[in-house]
Amino acid sequence: MDTGKVYTMFEDVKALLTKLVAVQAKSTPTPEPAPAIDPEDGEKIEALTVKLDTVSEKLDRPLRHHHTLDFMSNWALIVLAVVSIGLFASLWVIRNQREFRDNDLKYRYIQMRGEATPNDILQLREVFEFNRNADNIKTIRQQVERYEQLIQQQAENEARAKLNDEQAKQFKQEAETVKGGK
């Protein structure tokens, strides 16, 4: 809505009212009839009153904001491009993460077996790449994890045994020193 037009209308109403007040002020309190408003001015006042009513009705309505996206503007195009690039980059990373996990599991499986023949590698590629089989992959993962747990327990047992041997030697030395000291 053009506020300039509203202000112009108010100024016109103000000028007409000022003219009306001036005409009424000039009249004397004598029983003479007050001068009548010029019919031309009356029509203008009525027309402006109608316009003022329509403007006030428009002002009473709630404002509605409409947001539009214009792909011709630079910032919208840049934002769209950045979001698209980010989406494709994240999809690429997710895809590669799966490949990295598969390669890690294949490496750990070969390490568990201790050797890798060409048939073993072909079999792994068959399970992971050519005819992806989730059940076989789950079985391989369970075997590898169980093997790694056993290796870890074995290392802990060996460390514990080494510590016990060292403590036994230390106790033996203390016993020798106590025995020899008497």
> How would you write the pLDDT of the chain (182 residues) with one tens digit per residue?
577 787 788 888 888 888 887 777 776 455 566 566 777 777 888 888 888 888 887 777 777 777 776 666 777 788 888 999 999 999 998 888 777 788 888 888 888 888 888 888 888 888 887 888 888 888 888 999 999 999 999 999 999 999 999 999 998 888 888 887 65
Per-residue tokens: 41: 């001015």
Is the whole model's pTM more than 0.75, yes or no? Answer: no
pLDDT of residue 180: 75
pLDDT of residue 86: 96
Of 118, 120, 100, the residue nearest 109 (C-alpha)? 120
Element (H, E) at 129: none
Which amino acid, residue 70? Answer: D
Could you state, in order of their start, the residue ranges of all structural domains in the chain? 3-60, 95-181
CA distances from 121 to 90, 136, 147 (A): 30, 15, 19
- Beta-strand ranges (E) seen in 91-137 are none
Say if residues 114 and 151 touch (Cβ distance below 8 Å).
no
Residue 44's SS3 state is helix
pLDDT of residue 181: 62
